Amino acid sequence: MLYWQYEVSLVDIFTDDAVIDYPECCMPILVGWDDKEPSIILWSYAQEWTWQESVEAAEQTQVLRQSVSNQSIVVVLNMDFVQTIPRDSIRNMRRLLHHLQGGDFVILCGSNTAVNVITSFLRTLFQNEADRILMAASLEEARTLAREILSGSPPIR
């Protein structure tokens, strides 16, 4: 599986078994295409993050989203290693949801308390989009769910 990594204005291609060692100046939320189509955007949380970094990740997502303007996409937030939720980061997730189109979905993945809290909060805060905010226990489960959604199968919550 190849990932297309967009950071600042640089593009790197790396495999999913590669070790990513990036300088401290770079975002702890890596944003890029998770598939060749492109139809799945993956946020990989490499470490704890701040609300400003979630805003920057949402802005990167907007650029990717605009590059495939008319097709539906799924944004997968791989939060498996996230243990804490930074102050104001959830509130700033509205930037991500604001730039998505009607057929787009967001899947938060990880089997930890932070994922449960963020998912519940987002569904409550954004009730009109609640059916498009899903949760998966693992990245593989999220990818399977994303492929099902993109193939036209209705998501089961």
Q: What is the pTM of this model?
A: 0.79
The tens digit of pLDDT for each residue in 73-83 reads 999 999 998 88
Sorted by where each begins, the domain ranges of the chain are: 32-150
Q: What angle do CA 147, 151, 97 make, to 5 degrees?
A: 65
Q: How far apart are CA 57 and CA 16, in angstroms?
A: 19
pLDDT band of residue 14 (cuts 50, 70, 90) is: very low
Class for domain 32-150, per CATH?
A: alpha beta
The tens digit of pLDDT for each residue in 128-141 reads 888 999 999 999 99
Residue 19 has pLDDT above 90, yes or no: no
